[in-house]
Amino acid sequence: MGKTLIAAVFVAALCGCTTAKGGFCAVASPLRLSGKAVETLSDQEARALLAHNRKGEKLCGWRP
């Protein structure tokens, strides 16, 4: 039983060290709004949207 317990702890430790597959590019997509929707954005919302899209351009190769 001792070896089985050690093996189980080792496997659990390895599983805890893995990272999620995919990352930003796997779960995000460009945010595109209509002209009317853009007019209603606050400055803070516009900055956040622009930052998101620029991050996607840099990391994922999105095109404007």
Average pLDDT over residues 18-39: 87
59 near 25, Cβ under 8 Å? yes
Q: How high does pLDDT run on average in the chain?
A: 84
Of 44, 47, 57, 50, nearest in space to 32 by CA:
50
Question: Interior CA angle at 50 toward 44 and 52, to 5°?
Answer: 105
pTM of the predicted model as reported, rounded to 2 decimal places: 0.64
Assess whether pLDDT exceeds 70 at residue 51.
yes
> pLDDT band at residue 3, thresholds of 50, 70 and 90?
low
pLDDT of residue 64: 77
- Who's near 33: CB < 8 A, 6+ residues apart? 41, 49
User: Residue 22 — pLDDT band, cuts 50, 70, 90?
Assistant: confident
